[in-house]
Chains A and B, each alone.
Chain A
Amino acid sequence: MSRVSSEQDPFRAIADANRRRMLDLMLAQERTVGELAGLLGIAQPSVSQHMAVLRLAGLVDERQEGRRTFYSVRAADLRGVAEWIAKYEVFWAERLDALAAHLARQRQ
């Protein structure tokens, strides 16, 4: 997996609980910033700021309709997160190998 700058890191983008709730709401159907603000009970400027982070991380698509902008989840880009979990699987396999090597040293 290539290195990404922290602004583009999808894992950082979903580290925030409000952004996760926004993604959940946009997964069900496309939403405007105003709708999200109402559903989450947070101010529109905050939702706009969170949306900017999600957009930079490539997690949302936008569609213009008249003067309104609808946002939806671009699910394919959450693959980076899945790859991160795969790394954990390899991490543990390697750590258990290290444990076995450590035990062998203890016995000597």
Chain B
Amino acid sequence: MRDIVVAREVAFPREMVWAALTDSRQLAAWLMPNDFRPEIGHRFTFTTKPAPGFDGVVRCQVFDLRAPERLAFSWQGGALDTVVSFDLAQTAGGTRITLRHAGFAGASNLLPRVILGFGWASLLSRKLVAHLDGCRLGA
């Protein structure tokens, strides 16, 4: 299974984006309630609505923290044992944010074989493109 990668360019300085990623209150404003602290090794949780097979708690641990360019933490919830990272690159107009959610194969060794066999990878990318087009039209 390939990783999920979503990128956005925003017209704000990198330090400002970094603060929105690493300040617990700001993080809660756009992602989920949390007890994040910008310390390597810090264990924290995001809390959201429970669903079947998922108690609504995402357990995380910070393992990479390089201000103001990279934040990475583990992301465990339900059957998922994955890794989320944010990379911030300075651009002429502001900051390019690249989100990567990796390690879905770890949810089950079955996933890569089964999903690739059914051509889901290409279906997923079509879905994402359609979604992003929808966002652009709405903007």
**Which of A's residues lie within 8 Å of B, judged by CB?**
4-6, 9, 11-12, 14-15, 20, 23-24, 27, 73, 75-76, 78-79, 81-82, 85-86, 88-90, 92-93, 95-103, 106-107
Contacts and interface: CB of A to CB of B under 8 A. Distances in A.
Contact of B132 (A75, A93, A95): A93
14 contacts: A11-B52, A11-B78, A12-B52, A23-B108, A27-B113, A73-B110, A75-B110, A75-B114, A75-B117, A82-B111, A82-B118, A97-B8, A100-B8, A103-B16
Contact of B30 (A20, A85, A93, A95): A95
Given A14-B108, A97-B135, A78 B99 contact: no
A27 B110 CA distance: 8
Interface stretch (B36-44, B63-71, B123-131): B123-131
A11 B109 CA distance: 13
A25 to B, nearest CB: 11
Nearest to B75: A88
Given A11-B79, A82-B118, A93 B131 contact: yes
A106 B121 CA distance: 37
Contacts, number: 116
Contacts of B8: 96-97, 99-100
Given A15-B53, A24-B109, A95-B30, A103 B17 contact: yes
Nearest to B115: A82
B59 interface: no
